[in-house]
Amino acid sequence: MKIGIVCYPTHGGSGVVASELALGLAERGHEVHIVSYATPFRLRTFNQNVFIHEVEVATYPLFKYPPYGLGLATKLADVAEEYKLDLFHAHYAMPHAASSYIAKKIMRDDRIKIITTLHGTDITLVGADKSFHRVIKFSVEESDGVTAVSRFLKRRTIEEFDIKQDIRVIYNFVDTNRCNQKFEKCTKSRYAPNGEKILMHASNFRPVKRISDIVRIFAKVREQIPSKLLLLGEGPERLFAQQLVKELKIGQDVQFLGEQDYIENLLSCADLFLLPSEQESFGLVALEAHSCGVPVVGAATGGLPEVVIDGETGFLLPVGDVPGMAQKCVELLTNDQLYQSFSKRGRERAVSCFERQLIIPQYEAYYHEILNR
């Protein structure tokens, strides 16, 4: 097949999954064309059968904001006509699904199909904004196929937008072999020179991630166990988190490491992964942690319980329960038998349920289903 994948190029989950899907499809012999405003960070090196098309958006004094959605639609139409694409796969409804629909109408070609994958905030945050509600509902309903990354997100989409058509749940995935690779992994003594336990978090540091909860959880754990906190990512809450670290006087035990292209390299040093988010439609970073045998302590919210099994691969507590999460961290870090059990089960779950070789064929089969419908 000839597949056009539309995605954001950033470090968020949708960009990671779209990039890894492109690589997996290319390995299986398909021709994949990535259309975005920049090269996705995991596709910066040469990959056979993967082609990058960057969207150029002109700026004019007449426009207060550059019309990216229209520039994207034009680029999609151009690429589809030049390379005879079979389908557009839009990751994220806004604006990718809408732009795909416009591109199809520009081409006046009903042969090309549109598949939209819903990743989360396009429904839970953007979709809740009344100014976008109708266009997202329209884009989803005009797609030839729709997938969601969790059962939770499927239910939320149906409830929020009154969607009548079928939504297929296809989970996010990871390459579980990366955690077995021996190169480019961190040295634990670099971050914990005296054998301290290492707690880790990675995100885009938006308010929904509750970064202050992470810092406060760590501060309570540190009172009982010598430990370090590694924070990966960038975003609007970083400065606030840095200020809170200073106020709690724990700066010597907290490191901000910025964005990381492959967090598996650092997960090999982690003892626990913290994810106390207010909302998680799936929780890809939790899956990446499990893939590396790292238990997760987080919030029982959204689709996260579909990834982390409470009491088996991690602990999930109510959103905002900082003392409870801290206590569960201490429980795991002081009970080696329990910790090893959680670590083993997390790794097994990642391999048996979310390995890329299991999930990518599901997308491939879904493409065929939609094209042959």
* Sign of the C-alpha dihedral computed for residues 197, 199, 200 and 205 taken in this order: negative
Q: What is the pLDDT of residue 186?
A: 78
Each domain of the chain, given as residue ranges in start order, spans: 2-173+355-371, 176-353
Superfamily for the 176-353 domain: Glycogen Phosphorylase B; (3.40.50.2000)
Cα(60)–Cα(67) distance, integer angstroms: 10
Contact by Cβ (8 Å): 215, 254: yes
C-alpha 234/C-alpha 231 separation (Å) is 9
pLDDT of residue 126: 64
> What is the Cα–Cα distance from 115 to 97, expressed in whole angstroms?
8
Q: What's the pLDDT tens digit per position in 169-212?
A: 999 999 999 887 654 567 899 999 999 999 999 999 999 999 99
Distance CA 272, CA 339 (A): 10
Widest pairwise Cα distance in the chain: 66
Provide the pLDDT for residue 243. Answer: 97
Place of tokens 């429980």: 331
Q: Cβ-count burial of 311 within 10 angstroms (0-12 exposed, 13-18 middle, 19+ buried)?
A: exposed
Burial label for 180, CB within 10 Å (0-12, 13-18, 19+), is exposed
CA of 200: how far to CAs of 36, 47, 98, 101, 274, in Å? Answer: 30, 31, 37, 40, 6
User: Nearest Cα to 165, choosing from 139, 148, 138, 141?
Assistant: 141
- Homologous superfamily (CATH) of 2-173+355-371 is Glycogen Phosphorylase B; (3.40.50.2000)
Beta strands in the chain (DSSP E): 2-6, 31-36, 50-54, 87-91, 113-118, 145-148, 168-169, 197-202, 227-232, 254-258, 272-275, 296-299, 314-317
- Give me the count of residues in the chain: 373
20: its two tokens? 């890894």
Q: Within 182-309, where are the H helices?
A: 188-191, 211-224, 238-247, 264-267, 284-291
- The neighbour count for residue 42, using CB atoms within 10 Å, is 18
Amino acid 11: pLDDT: 78
231 vs 238: CA distance, rounded Å: 9
Which segments of the chain have a pLDDT < 70?
Answer: 125-128, 181-185
With helix as H, strand as E and coil as C, how does 308-361 read?
CCECCCEEEECCCCHHHHHHHHHHHHCCHHHHHHHHHHHHHHHHHHCEHHHHHH
Predicted local confidence at residue 181, as pLDDT: 61
- From CA 254, how far away is CA 187, in angstroms rounded? 17
